[in-house]
Amino acid sequence: MSLTDQAWATEEQRVQEVTAKMSVKMTELEEQVGLVQSDVVEIRKHYWDEVTMDMSTAEDAVESIASMRQQTEVLSERERTHRQAAKALGKLRRLVDSPYFGRIDFIERGERTEEAVYLGIASFLDEEEGQYLVYDWRAPISSLYYDFAPGEVAFATPNGTVEGQMVLKRQYVIRDRHIHFMFDTGVTIGDELLKQVLSRSSDAQMKTIVATIQKEQNRIIRNDSAHMLIVQGAAGSGKTSAALQRVAYLLYKHRDKLSSDQMVLFSPNPLFNHYVSTVLPELGEENMQQTTYQAYLEHRLGEMFEVEDSFAQLEYILTSGSTSSVSEGTPVTEEAYKARLSGIYYKSSTAFLTVIEAYIKHMERTGMLFNPIKFREKEVLSAAQLAERFYSYDTSIRLPNRLVLMKEWMLEQLERFAELEIEEAWVDEEIELLSSEDYHRTYLRLLKMEGGLGASFDDFDQERLLLARLVMKEHLKPVRIAVKQFKFVDLTGLYGQLFRDEQEAGAGGLITEKPSYWSEICWRTEEQLAQAKLPYEDATPFLYLMEAVCGFQTNGAVRHVIIDEAQDYSPFQLAYLKRLFPRCRMTALGDLGQAIYSHASAYSEIDPIAALYGPEQTEVIRLFRSYRSTREIVEFTRGIVPGGDAIEPFTRAGALPRVVKASDRGSLHSHLAAEVKRLLGEGYASIAIITKTASESELAHQALTPLLEVPLGRITKHSPTFESGVLVIPSYLAKGVEFDAVLIYDGSHHQYGHENERKLFYTACTRAMHELCIFALGDPCHFITSQPQDTYVLTDSAKDAFN
């Protein structure tokens, strides 16, 4: 819809007026911030001058305390004012160059005049007129902009639904306080603006999407009813974007009772954490807590074990199972590989969770294992004594509570032991070794402990006794701490018992439906545990068992958890997270097409996630439209995954994906280098060469660096950030992020020949926004050749000249 010059001029004038008012307000706030700041500094400097301290009498003391309190209140009030003014100033600074992006004219039913509502990333009130010049995009009325085309409309407010007519809907691109584009739109959010936004170059940091949120995404953002909101959406459909704007929305809507530190995002990797970390600050909100599941495992189990990370597990699966010549995985037999795979499936399944729960029940009566308590080679309490004590308690008492009782009893036993042990010769030796300083300190501490026995040790026995007790106390400290931390429970033994023969321990008998390669799984698990290593697939079951026995550690402060790439979590892990955050709501974002982990690739539906809170508390929103990639890339990639035909491309045109077949590695590298050069020449800022594995990344990086005229970055699982430019990255680390152009390093049948690599290949290809080129050393993989021939261009470099 074209706009008249008159309309344009009026709108431009409004931009000028609004930004001028913002500038005035900013100057005011700057002054205020400066003044209050110097007030605060002054108050702090002269704090004590204003306080009269006199403690001579009780009355004086009360007065002194009151005067101190008053002074503290003055200071905190000024600090609060400073914080608020600084925040308001920050908001205006973000707003002023581009004060709004949309307008709706709305007439409420029963009213005559229409109201023009301008939407921006924050609100701006004209204090003199008492009128909002800009509405926050999260305000109730703003939802009209995202949900409706002009016509009959309605929006929800805390006081009920408001109905009316939308008579105009307009979009703007305002930069540097001037309108660059402006158009009226008949549909929800015009494709034109979206096309423009999506055509831009990618960035090392994700952008906000508030100006172009789509209706279906708005349902995710504003959903406030679901306890568990599951978003199942195609690659590039805006799941992460919607979730981040949702966080901003919830923080706005519940600003009185929800703060950003009560929200946690579980990301697929640290790189992704960095990638999304600017979105909320851009929207004027503080970042929520961000972590990875791996970091949590490390935090809980890192002291006990060398915990394998998910990437190392994946690298094993991808390198050890493939026929790839570049594989550098440990040489493993086919049997061992299959056994590990079978173990991974099993240990991540709900069947195993059920077994562990049965095992916990079983332990109420028998089977608990303990570590004996030793002190200087002496067994203070044997494992059998501990077990006997444990099972002497009423069986109705839960395991963790019994351990608490045990702990008290054990501390008493330790006291008794200490009283006998102080007679030992080693204690005298230790007393001798006390330095005069220690001795003196000991003496003073003794005085304090013993309630002032006298200023000198005139009684030799008394002196020896007191010093010996002190020496004992120091030496027994680590044992006491270990007891308090329940380290007397043999958790490794308990977990290992699950994998032992039923006759031996009884626990293995709980596993009635054994997975294939069971005996191999058993001895391998035990072997790893003996070396204090915990494979990734064992980490969550181990943690679950540990917590069930010793007491669940929960985090009641967190009110909302967002799990990105939820399809990569095993049912076991999801159950664990639910336990960990008992008071929170969850948003789980997933794409079954990108389930790259062995334990999850078997998911055919979102059932394990949906089952977590049950149907009553769960809502599922599905996104089918893919925004990231051009239409051509989506039309090619959607055929790779089951059910992909439902994925709708957004109408942004680009070149057809290209497949380049190379006959040898030298030619592969030279064609890759030429392609990088071409893409740089086209002006693309971020180009990723995606390899299947980390070992292949290393090889590609070495070979390509000398062939390129620009620096070539390499991303590993330890990289915390990435910059624009050209980089090599393993497929599984590219999850969640995007690049202008993607070059698949080797998409040959040789590299992606297994069915279980389908989703990994899809994930890698769907990282491309504008161009996708797949190189293949030999025949392209089946995932490519099974696509309709008109969806890509094949070049055989041995036959055709490149380009």
Which residues line the annotated binding site for ATP?
A: 233-240
Question: Residue 591 CB, nearest distance to ligand ATP (Å)?
Answer: 5
Give 194 or 728: the residue with its C-beta nearer to ligand ATP.
Answer: 194
Give 549 or 742: the residue with its C-beta nearer to ligand ATP.
Answer: 742
Give 267 or 349: the residue with its C-beta nearer to ligand ATP.
Answer: 267
Give 285 or 738: the residue with its C-beta nearer to ligand ATP.
Answer: 738
Three-class DSSP category at 179: strand
Give 101 or 745: the residue with its C-beta nearer to ligand ATP.
Answer: 101
Q: How far is CA 272 from the centre of its chain?
A: 8
- Per-residue b/e over 143-181, b at no fewer than 16 CB within 10 Å? bbbbbbebeebebeeeeeebebebeebbbbbbeebebee
Question: Residue 628 CB, nearest distance to ligand ATP (Å)?
Answer: 4
- Phi/psi of residue 135, nearest 5 degrees: -100, 145
Residue 460 CB partners (closer than 8 Å, separation 6+)? none
Give 269 or 324: the residue with its C-beta nearer to ligand ATP.
Answer: 269
Question: Residue 166 CB, nearest distance to ligand ATP (Å)?
Answer: 20
Helix (H) / strand (E) element for 178: namely strand 178-184
| Nearest of 236, 205, 208, 189 to residue 629 by alpha carbon | 236
**How many angstroms separate the most distant Cα atoms in the chain?**
105
Three-class DSSP category at 493: helix
Give 146 or 775: the residue with its C-beta nearer to ligand ATP.
Answer: 146
- Per-residue b/e over 228-249, b at no fewer than 16 CB within 10 Å? bbbbbbbbbbbbbbbbbbbbbb
**Partners of 154 in the β-ladder:** 163
Q: How many beta carbons lie within 10 A of that of residue 723, not counting itself? A: 10
Q: Which single residue is written with the structure tokens 């590989």?
A: 337
Question: Residue 522 CB, nearest distance to ligand ATP (Å)?
Answer: 37
Residue 276 CB partners (closer than 8 Å, separation 6+)? 205, 206, 240, 244, 265, 267, 290, 736
Beta pairing, strands 160-175 & 151-157: antiparallel
CA atoms within 13 A on the CB side of 627: 24
Question: Residue 611 CB, nearest distance to ligand ATP (Å)?
Answer: 22
Give 98 or 525: the residue with its C-beta nearer to ligand ATP.
Answer: 98
Question: Residue 93 CB, nearest distance to ligand ATP (Å)?
Answer: 23
Q: How many beta carbons lie within 10 A of that of residue 10, not counting itself? A: 11
**Exposed, middle or buried by CB within 10 Å (0-12, 13-18, 19+), for 1?**
exposed
Q: How many beta carbons lie within 10 A of that of residue 565, not counting itself? A: 26
- Phi/psi of residue 712, nearest 5 degrees: -115, 115
Structure tokens at 56: 């001579």
Give 204 or 794: the residue with its C-beta nearer to ligand ATP.
Answer: 204
Contact 220, 231 (CB under 8 A): yes
Question: Residue 193 CB, nearest distance to ligand ATP (Å)?
Answer: 9
Question: Residue 24 CB, nearest distance to ligand ATP (Å)?
Answer: 33
Give 217 or 598: the residue with its C-beta nearer to ligand ATP.
Answer: 217
Question: Residue 672 CB, nearest distance to ligand ATP (Å)?
Answer: 24
Give 380 or 647: the residue with its C-beta nearer to ligand ATP.
Answer: 647
Give 236 or 608: the residue with its C-beta nearer to ligand ATP.
Answer: 236
- Phi/psi of residue 177, nearest 5 degrees: 70, 20
Beta pairing, strands 178-184 & 151-157: unpaired
Q: Which residues bind ligand ATP (CB under 6 A)?
A: 194, 197-198, 207, 209, 212-214, 217, 233, 235-241, 591, 627-628, 736, 738, 766
Residue of closest CB approach to ligand ATP: 238
CA distance 761 to 750: 13
| Nearest of 487, 518, 546, 553 to residue 363 by alpha carbon | 546
CA distances from 70 to 47, 49, 52, 57, 74 (A): 11, 13, 11, 20, 6
Could you tell me where the beta strands, DSSP code E, fall in 427-510?
none
Question: Residue 124 CB, nearest distance to ligand ATP (Å)?
Answer: 23
| Nearest of 327, 305, 307, 302 to residue 316 by alpha carbon | 327
Question: Residue 261 CB, nearest distance to ligand ATP (Å)?
Answer: 23
Question: Residue 208 CB, nearest distance to ligand ATP (Å)?
Answer: 8
Give 239 or 559: the residue with its C-beta nearer to ligand ATP.
Answer: 239
CA distance 366 to 387: 9
Using alpha carbons only, how large is the chain's radius of gyration in Å? 33
CA distance 48 to 359: 63
| Nearest of 737, 695, 733, 620 to residue 309 by alpha carbon | 733
Q: How many beta carbons lie within 10 A of that of residue 110, not counting itself? A: 7
Q: Which residues are annotated as a binding site?
A: 233-240
Question: Residue 197 CB, nearest distance to ligand ATP (Å)?
Answer: 5
Question: Residue 534 CB, nearest distance to ligand ATP (Å)?
Answer: 29
CA distance 759 to 764: 9
Give 233 or 515: the residue with its C-beta nearer to ligand ATP.
Answer: 233
Give 305 or 783: the residue with its C-beta nearer to ligand ATP.
Answer: 783
Contact 537, 316 (CB under 8 A): no
Question: Residue 589 CB, nearest distance to ligand ATP (Å)?
Answer: 6
